[in-house]
Amino acid sequence: MEKKPNRRRFLKDGALLASMAVGSLQTASGKNLEAESEEIRPKDLHAYGERSRFESSKRTGALGTWPQPTSPPDYHKDFGFRTPLQDSVGIVTPVSLHYIVSHGYEPPDIDPREHQLLIHGMVDRPLIFTLEDLRRLPSMTRTYFVECNGNSAPTGPTGAIRRGPSANAQDTHGLTSSSLWTGVPLSLLFKQAGVRQGASWIVAEGAEKGKHSKSLPLEKALDDMLVVYAQNGEAIQPEQGYPLRLLAPGWEGINNVKWLRRIKVVDKPYMAMRETSKYPSLRLDGKARWFQFQMGPKSVITRPSGGQKLDGPGFYEISGLAWSGGGSIRNIEVSTDGGRSWKDAEIQGPVHRKSHTRFGLAWEWDGQETVLQSRCTDETGEVQPSVAEVAAFWRVQPDFFQKTETVVGHFNAIQPWKVNRDGSVENAIAF
Amino acid sequence: MEKKPNRRRFLKDGALLASMAVGSLQTASGKNLEAESEEIRPKDLHAYGERSRFESSKRTGALGTWPQPTSPPDYHKDFGFRTPLQDSVGIVTPVSLHYIVSHGYEPPDIDPREHQLLIHGMVDRPLIFTLEDLRRLPSMTRTYFVECNGNSAPTGPTGAIRRGPSANAQDTHGLTSSSLWTGVPLSLLFKQAGVRQGASWIVAEGAEKGKHSKSLPLEKALDDMLVVYAQNGEAIQPEQGYPLRLLAPGWEGINNVKWLRRIKVVDKPYMAMRETSKYPSLRLDGKARWFQFQMGPKSVITRPSGGQKLDGPGFYEISGLAWSGGGSIRNIEVSTDGGRSWKDAEIQGPVHRKSHTRFGLAWEWDGQETVLQSRCTDETGEVQPSVAEVAAFWRVQPDFFQKTETVVGHFNAIQPWKVNRDGSVENAIAF
């Protein structure tokens, strides 16, 4: 006898069919959307907007593509996602496009009401701060860049992307981003805790599975470091350290500890894993430089840049970004003739210390093949070098950078873009 | 005879059941998600990030809730969505939370490759610009606020929200936002087109169904108006005018024409619909002031503010925003004792002209009932008035603002927040 459908059965089948009809609706983390109906609820774009469906600018990268130089291999995989600098305007990176370097872990799913920051070690009063405690304190908003020390490296896994003629600005320089960071000066928290005589370093620790730790000089902490909870006016995104991140302006990205949960005041560096196994920079004698923090002056033309195409001869604005861990950018020069002559570019304010700075130069393209380059000078007078100058500093031949398998961090040589007669633009760095 | 199910039939039923099982999955525009599978595809958060699932700050408002003062009624309905100022930090509003006022239309779904801007009228060379044409030109990034002329109005539909003790900063002042806008100076486009002798106004027109038009003095256009394509470093969102918007810094929001497609150079104002039916301000003689553009100096304490709760006596930073169409904010005073005494607040830079400016003041709450207020002074020396001063200017009793049904635009009186003994904070504006 054929059963009459009852409502309960109908709904059950319906649910089953529903999951078939809409296909393999799984989130990135593998959760089934059927059970997470929130995630497929239609968005209320009046409550919280989204970009146009015609916009497709995105971070590029891959999970676990970086080689593991340690032996035995790291127990987890690194990954990096680069910001699309070729699409950038102004000096602020949209939060959804801020570059990500992560040492093997997806962001922890932190409930901000549960999260705490512990300050302890060589202090008179160990303190625990909730998010709400921190938001009661005087806040500060500053525009700072964060940059991976391997950004624009000619060698290693990032260099492999960087070397080819088809590399674009995202491939070559996409491991830097600039944001308005809001938070509390670390010096204020230390004042409340009372730093003891003899303290000289801090160790900051994240709350992710790997508990990334980083040693930093106390002097820097008391100078301009921040504990930040917001980026570009809203909460930091999970990939950037939600709900709390340490900001060490102008220093290697790895110092900006995400998912910050603990700061210990100590009297020596702690030689945490990333301070001994990978991030130390190569020295000329083959040994490693353990603590190199500050990022040097660097610039890149973002428009026109690799992969873009000029629409015939005529007027174009050359636009790009410059930044330095040494402070503010004082001057940017641009060459449109392969380096024979250089003109001062216009600095298109605002100019902030240790922030991306936008520059522009009016350019009339005559339709001939040429090479575009930029070089910047920071407030300390340090000038961005050529590849040859970097090689001379390292006392190596330029082709060293092509041969070595070691990542050469802090590589800040001038980036040349070749403009072909058909208007196509390509990477022209040569070693 | 029972039919064997065939695949086609199965899929059809499946699709039907699917749409029942998942409920009323419709987008705001009424499209069925079944047919728009893109919208429910799992997100690749490495490519383009999202905020934490614990973050819920959102715009509030309603569709078609504003009364229609015209007779016969408007043929479409207005709507407004307010930005959550009480959650704001720094001076930049996240693009997804920027306030929206729209005159009846959801954003048009514009393909930027098809979009064009026409400049014509009293010019030597009528010109058409594509997005790509505009991006080739010298760009400019500036931080500007945009504010509805009815923001913080005590009367009309917005005032109804504003008057109650439970109103929060979003209810009272949520129709203003501040962004880094990137685009091309309108003066540059006019230079290319060649403005003719005798021209004195422009008319700007949007591409949405209603073709909102606005007359603006040529002088302003040549001063600081921009044609913008980006906001906070990425393309403007559809609700804000994607792909092109006119920016008239410091002037009523309605001048900042969204989905900009046409600018005509003319020799008189064109008395477009919104210039005659609603936006003109009330005059004392009962007639209307047709063209009032510039927003006056205004400030609001965002923390602590209505609806928030203090966690017992102790230290709090009072934080807020000030802005003026007259230029930059020169000074902000805060009273923590109901207006008996005022202290200079700290201006927490950066300070930009015609931009939100963040201020802060350290405050030790003694646990007693009190009232917090802020007042700002702009670079022209204009001071934000009290309710009594606004009433005196209008030659009315303060309760006029409670009785009239007309929206009193440009109302910029000081906003008081009452702190109760239990730490709760409420709206205390009185008329």
Listing DSSP states for B369-416 in one string gives: -EEEEEEEEETT--BPPPHHHHHHHHTS-TTHHHH--S--TT--PPPP
What burial class does residue B87 get, using C-beta atoms within 10 Å of its C-beta: 0-12 exposed, 13-18 middle, 19+ buried? buried
B97 touches chain A (CB under 8 A): yes
Q: Which helix (H) or strand (E) holds A394?
A: helix A387-394
- Predicted pLDDT of residue B40: 43
> Hey, of A26, A44, A48, which one would you mutate to test binding to chain B, going by the most B CBs within 10 A of its CB?
A48
Tokens of A161: 């992307």
Write out the DSSP string of A90-126: SS---GGG--EEESS-PPP---TTT-EEEEEESBSS-
Of B299-308, B355-364, B397-406, the poorest mean pLDDT is in: B397-406
Residue with tokens 């130069």: A361
User: What pLDDT score does A61 carry?
Assistant: 84
B303/A52 Cβ within 8 A:
no
Which residues, other chains included, contact A104 with Cβ-Cβ below 8 Å and sequence gap of 6+?
Answer: A64, A74, A76, A77, A78, A79, A210
Classify each residue of B351-387 as buried b or exposed e, where b means 16 or more C-beta atoms within 10 Å of its C-beta: bbbbbbbbbbbebebeeeebebbbbbbbeeebbbbbb
User: What are the tens digits of pLDDT across the range B299-321?
Assistant: 999 999 999 999 999 999 999 99
| Pairwise CB contact (< 8 Å): B34 & A22 | yes
Which position has the higher pLDDT, B156 or A364?
Answer: A364
Q: Is B122 on the interface with A (CB under 8 A)?
A: no
Q: What ipTM was estimated for this complex?
A: 0.85
Specify the 3-state DSSP secondary structure of A352: coil
Is the distance from CB of B415 to CB of B173 less than 8 angstroms?
Answer: yes
Q: How far apart are CA A154 and CA A264, in angstroms?
A: 36
Comparing CA positions, the residue from B241, B29, B268, B269 lying closest to residue B131 is: B241
Neighboring chain B residues of A105 at a CB cutoff of 8 Å: none
Please give the angle made by the CA atoms of B92, B98 and B103, to the nearest 5 degrees: 150
B329 neighbors B339 (Cβ within 8 angstroms): no
Q: How many angstroms separate the CA of residue A225 from the nearest CA in chain B?
A: 17
Of B181, B79, B149, the C-alpha closest to B296 is B149
CA B287 to chain centre: 27
Predicted confidence at residue A209, as pLDDT, reads: 83
pLDDT above 50 (res B11) = no
Whether the CB-CB separation of A229 and A210 falls below 8 Å is answered with: no
Cβ within 8 Å, pair B11-A26: no
Query: Comparing A131-135, B10-14, B241-245, B388-392, which segment has the lowest mean pLDDT?
Result: B10-14
pLDDT at residue B154, as a whole number: 79
Residues facing B427 on adjacent strands: B417
Spatial contact of A267 and A199, defined as CB atoms under 8 Å apart: yes
The domains found in chain A, sorted by start residue, are 7-40 (no CATH), 100-289 (3.90.420.10), 298-427 (2.60.40.650)
Cβ(B235)–Cβ(A51) under 8 Å?
Answer: yes
On chain A, the residues whose CB falls within 8 A of the CB of B191 are none
| B90 in A contact zone (CB under 8 Å) | yes
Q: Give the residue carrying structure tokens 């930049």.
A: B92
Chain B CB contacts of A20 under 8 Å are 14, 18
Residue B253 makes CB contacts below 8 A (sequence gap 6+) with: B101, B146, B147, B148, B149, B175
Torsion of CA A409, A411, A412, A413, to 10 degrees: -170
Average pLDDT value for residue range B197-218: 93
Phi, psi for residue B394 in degrees, rounded to 5: -80, -5
**A239 part of contact set with chain B, CB < 8 Å:** yes
pLDDT in tens, A292-338: 789 999 999 999 999 999 999 999 999 999 999 999 999 999 999 99
Residue identified by tokens 């999955």 is B25
β-strand pairing of B201-206 with B234-235? unpaired
Least trusted range by pLDDT, from B137-141, B175-179, B257-261, B267-271? B267-271
Q: CA of A232, closest CA in chain B: separation in Å?
A: 6
A331 interfaces chain B, CB cutoff of 8 Å: no
What is the full DSSP assignment across B105-123? -PPP---TTT-EEEEEESB
Give the whole-angstrom CA distance, residue B366 versus residue B369: 9
Q: Identify the pLDDT of residue B402.
A: 74
pLDDT digit string, tens, across residues A186-236? 999 999 999 999 999 999 999 988 788 999 999 999 999 999 999 999 999
